Structure 1
Amino acid sequence: MKRLLAFSAYYEPEVAASLYLSTNLYEDFAKDGWKVDLFVPMPTRGVDDKIRKIYKNRKKESKGNLSIHRISLIKEGKGTLGRAVRYILMNLLFIWKGITTKTDVIFVQSTPPTQGAMAAIIKKVKKIPLVYNLQDVFPDSMVGMGMTREGSIIFKAGQIIEKFTYKNADKIIVISNDMKNNIIEKGVPVNKISVVSNWIDTKSVKPIVKENNYLFEKYGLSRGDFHVVYAGNLGYAQNIEIIIQAAKRLENIKNIQFVIFGNGAQEEEYKKMAVELGVVNLKFFPIQPYSEVSYVYSLADVSIVSCKKGFGGSAMPSKTWSIMAAGTPVLASFDAGTDMQKIISSDHLGLFSDASNIEGLADNIKYLYLHKKQAEEMGENARRYVEANASRHSCTARYIGIVNSVI
């Protein structure tokens, strides 16, 4: 039996953006006959102390061929420095576990950014192949998030980590052509790169009619209103400001209501901004677990995918597929010329506006409010698109094939 060694910074029962991708992938490797050893820290993100206590002594779980090894680690804080220290401690523990675990190949994803370099060290010691899944281009993403600037010491250190990772990976799987072009420009050989989009389990995430959606009652929302929904991380890169400002511009249309489900480093800042602007048509609610994704996006008449200008080429938010799977049109406030614009516009899955264009986003919302039939058609197109192009089975099968090719 082939053995896969994997590491993840977050895993169930944690609540984090796109966590289902890791869960789906390792489960499908195991179903394909691989013996998977997955090392993860004790749960911290989106869970309370009661959950942490349950997992404190749960060092190993087995799900068929998938073994989940949990390591003790300090609780994650909201501060950047504290989170960085935790990541470094985690990677040191991962290196030790990796060196002492028998395997045929290493597989890691790019959260945190040091994860690839950590895996490269294990590769050098064990002399086995490494497959690296790039979900977010580092250190470009840190510049886009306002955490550093090009030419800074942090940026240069990030480039060293990035170069070391790419050099030592036998295969690099990226999630969009934009990301492929980004790392080709940095000198990565084309034959080392494969593009596999993120996916959605269309059996789990599906449209739910409003009459059967309990979230309306739970959060006191009216089924008669036109809901604009954002769900996910509330950080710098997501450009939540533009959503708040668009809401302010549309507050004269009483039936247009904005709903944000999320948490993150800038959550309190965004809430404060909404209060200071006097935005009355926007509500904030806690981020929902993955099991409720169908309800979250089916509550929406339109759903937003947003980013800071200049950030779209280094990331392709997987929430896009969740929105589409729920049969909801996508309102993209994103960088022009990216895969996001091409997909949304060419297949009529929603409407697109440039990342810095507040008026454009507000106008697109108003247009779909006034043309609800067209919005419904876009939602139907979106559902068909993910069924044909972003299904779990087809995408995870490609991952398995790529990993098979290096051993």
Structure 2
Amino acid sequence: MHIILQSPMKILFLPAYFHPEKAASSYLSENRNHVFADTGFEMTVYTPIPTRGVSAEVRNEYKRRRIETCYDGKMTVRRFGMMREGHNPVLRAFRYTLCCVRQFSWAVFSGEARRCDVMFISSTPPIQGAMAALVKRFTHKPFVYNLQDIFPDSLVGTGLTHKGSLLWKIGRWIENFTYRHADRIIVISEDFKRNLLSKGVPEDKIEVIYNWVDENAVVPVARKDNPLFDEFGLDRSKFYIVYAGNLGAAQNIDIILQAAQSTRDLPDLQYLIFGSEEQSEPYKKRVAELNLQNLRILPIQPYERVSFVYGLGNAAVVSCKKGFGGIAMPSKTWSILSAGTAVLASFDTGTDMQRIIEGNDIGLFTQAEDLNAFTAAIRKLYDDPQRCASMGKRGRDYILTHLTREIGTSRFVKVLNYFAK
């Protein structure tokens, strides 16, 4: 009797960024890759020498070490030289293009890459998917597109372009070309799925996998055990509203400042905003101009301290400008819930965000940019801190039931197994 051994699944990654580069949701790819390795998948990565958020010393170290293995030898990472990433959007786009050219060359002509069964492609930068589609046309290799950001809709939402502009038309062509050639498209919410369906993407191509949270890394922390109260000189007896993360235009941080201005009469209410130094500067000036004694802007904290950050709050904010609800599902929402903190949302109505918050009584939901409703919600929470605590407990239970690391990563394995030989 002959025993036929099935060869392990081989996955080709072509990321624009890779460890040690850090992003707000980098834990997702790390969790996913760990599970891929544990499942027995073999992974090959072609990526530039790191540039984002790393020192010159680290960058030089990777220049000397172009090949490495990780995840117990299940992943081989090959790095190629590339200029540093700057702030100029034109130069950044040029760098993205050069990276895609190099990755296309590796994917088409490298024997190791050609032996892979499937490509796993992320949506940052947006031309990455189009590059993978071209690789597929040359090699007939299928690809899974992991869609975390819908381009060019996101540019319209931030005001960088408008529908009908040349940039929008180019973006839509890139988007359609990518969707047409992708074999599976993973989206992070039902709102994303509806967006793609409205653009003619077949439903059987789309898989909804919500971003998860590592429920063992982000946990409820009692105030008496939270070191950030002492580090920042915070009174443990006060009521805190916390925001942490990106302070960009899409997040509508202004509504938090306006709410702080409108609730000065509440003596024990304090607002805490955690953000990067660069993004914080204009808001610090605004806080000083408005003399907001009830709001502090603090340094962004590493992911390892997320439990402490959200543990400061009786409630934590998830906010956006109008029009972003169908193209955004902030992962911070799951971290807030996993930390056992109530969610205070200022978000588009009719979205997954509203359905999940209101359907599970894990916070209060208000329409995006509605300052009166947002302020009224804050006053409701302030008047009933016990209700906040109960919402936080239900939020933690929701994570443990629906959005754990194991639940999320296992769904990725299921999608990739479809392409096993």
TM superposition score normalised by structure 2: 0.92
The alpha-carbon deviation at position 299 of structure 1 amounts to 1.8
Structure 1 vs Structure 2 CA RMSD = 1.8
5+ residue gaps in structure 1? none
1:157 aligns with 2:164: no
1:44 aligns with 2:57: no
**How many Å separate the matches in 1 of 2:278 and 2:230?**
29
| Contact 1:10–1:19 (Cα < 8 Å) also in 2 | no
Is it true that 1:216 corresponds to 2:229 in the alignment?
yes
Equivalent AA in structure 2 for residue 373 of structure 1: Q
The residue type equivalent to 1:25 in the other structure is: R
Q: Is the 8 A contact 1:139 1:159 kept in 2?
A: yes
Of the structure 1 ranges 234-243 and 380-389, higher mean CA displacement relative to structure 2 is found in 234-243
What is the distance in 1 between the residues matched to 2:338 and 2:267?
A: 28
| SS in structure 1 at match of 2:364 | strand
Q: 327, 331, 338: which one pairs with 1:314?
A: 327
Q: Which moved more, 1:58-67 or 1:263-272?
A: 263-272
CA distance 1:68–1:139, shift in 2 (3 Å): same
The letter of the residue matching 1:230 is Y
CA pair 15-253 structure 1, distance change in 2 beyond 3 A: farther
- Residue 166 in 1 paired to residue 179 in 2? yes
Where does residue 6 of structure 1 map in the other structure?
Answer: 13
**Percent identity for Structure 1 against Structure 2:** 46
- SS of equivalent to 2:318: strand
Deviates more, 1:86-95 or 1:201-210: 86-95
Give 1:91's aligned residue. Answer: 100
How far 1:30 sits from its partner (Å)?
A: 1.1
Residue 224 to residue 83, structure 1, CA distance change in 2 (3 Å)? farther
Contact 2:122–2:148 (CA under 8 A) maintained in structure 1? yes
Letter in structure 2 aligned against 1:27: H
Q: Distance in 1 between matches of 2:228 and 2:61?
A: 28
In structure 1, the residue matched to 2:220 is 207
Q: Which amino acid aligns with 1:127?
A: H
Question: Which range moves more in the overlay, 127-136 or 89-98?
Answer: 89-98
Cα distance between partner residues in 1 of 2:296 and 2:118: 46
For the 8 Å contact 2:280–2:297, the answer to whether it is kept is no
User: Counterparts of 2:293 and 2:37 in 1: how far apart (Å)?
Assistant: 49
Aligned to 2:3: none
Alignment-derived partner of residue 238 in structure 2: 225
One of 148, 168, 177 as aligned partner of 2:161 = 148
**1:324 aligned to 337, 346, 356, which one?**
337
Most deviating of 161-170 and 56-65: 56-65
Q: Per the alignment, in what secondary structure is the counterpart of residue 406 of structure 1? A: coil
SS of equivalent residue, structure 2 residue 245 = strand
Amino acid aligned to 1:255: D
The structural deviation recorded for 1:152 is 0.4
Residues of 2 paired with 1:55 and 1:317: CA distance?
A: 32
Change (3 A) 1:279 1:53: farther
- Which one-letter code corresponds to 1:23 in the other structure? E
Q: Distance between the aligned counterparts of 1:289 and 1:312, measured in 2?
A: 26
* 1:210-237 deviation digits (Å, cap 9, x = unpaired): 2222222222322222221111112121
- Which residue identity is paired with 1:132? Y
SS in 1 for 2:218: coil
Can you give the 5+ residue segments of structure 2 that lack an aligned partner in the other structure?
1-7
Instruction: State which of 23, 30, 34 in structure 2 corresponds to 1:27.
Output: 34
SS of equivalent to 1:237: helix
Give SS of 1:294's match.
helix
| Contact 2:117–2:419 (8 Å) recurs in 1 | no
Superposed displacement of residue 327, structure 1: 0.6
**Higher mean displacement: 57-66 or 391-400:** 57-66
Letter of the 1:44 counterpart: T
- Give the Å deviation of 1:264: 8.4
Q: CA deviation at 1:105?
A: 0.3
Aligned to 2:203: 190
Q: Which of 125, 130, 136 is residue 117 of structure 1 equivalent to?
A: 130
Query: SS state of the match for residue 229, structure 1?
Result: strand
Specify the code of the residue in structure 1 equivalent to 2:65. Answer: R
Tell me how far 1:349 sits from its aligned partner.
0.8
Q: CA deviation at 1:253?
A: 2.0
Q: SS state of the match for residue 251, structure 2? A: coil
SS of the aligned residue for 2:106 comes to: helix
For the residue of structure 1 that corresponds to 2:17, the secondary structure is: coil
Structure-2 change in CA distance of 1:290 and 1:151 (3 Å): same
Change beyond 3 A, Cα 1:229–1:13: farther
Q: 1:374 to 1:359 in 2, by over 3 A?
A: same
Q: Which amino acid aligns with 2:51?
A: T
Residue 4 (structure 2) aligns with? none
- 2:250 counterpart SS class: coil
What TM-score comes out, normalization by structure 1 length? 0.95
Contact 1:206 1:294 in 2 (8 A): yes
Q: Does 2:380 align with 1:367?
A: yes
- The answer to whether the Cα contact below 8 Å between 2:277 and 2:299 also exists between their aligned partners in 1 is no
Work out whether residues 234 and 264 of structure 1, in 8 Å CA contact, stay in contact via their aligned partners in 2.
no
* Cα deviation code 1:34-89 (max 9, x no counterpart): 00123333333333434434444332332211233333333333343333233222
Contact 1:305 1:333 in 2 (8 A): yes
Instruction: Name the SS for the 1:317 alignment partner.
Output: coil
